[in-house]
Amino acid sequence: MIIEDSLYKPKFSNGPFARSLAKNISAIELNGLENGKARLGPVLQLPSGAQIEVCGEGFNDRMVKIRSNGKYYFAFRSDLG
């Protein structure tokens, strides 16, 4: 089941979960806002050492929304440790 609210980019995120990635991870980019709602973009790799911030729930219970370099992504919770 897809959680529709997860497709919105947060207006802000607070940084208590900011960290550096220990390994490369796959992530789905959120892009192309339409009526305030983001579209799913390509699957790509975020590199080891990238600074990320957990900023919301994913579109299912295995995913989480993250931010890195001002862009938003969905990533697997298990990849974040």
CATH number of the CATH domain containing 49: 2.30.30
Higher pLDDT, 63 or 37: 63
Q: How does pLDDT run across 53-70, given as a tens digit for each residue?
A: 998 888 899 999 999 998
3-state secondary structure of 80: helix
Higher pLDDT, 51 or 3: 51
Rounded Cα–Cα distance for residues 12 and 53 (Å): 11
Q: Which range of residues forms the domain containing residue 60?
A: 4-80
Residue 5 has phi, psi (to 5 degrees) of -60, -20
Q: What is the mean pLDDT of residues 26-45?
A: 83
CB contact set of 11 (below 8 Å; sequence gap of 6+): none
User: Which of the four pLDDT bands, split at 50, 70 and 90, describes residue 51?
Assistant: very high
Structural domains counted in the chain: 1
Q: What confidence score (pLDDT) does residue 1 get?
A: 42
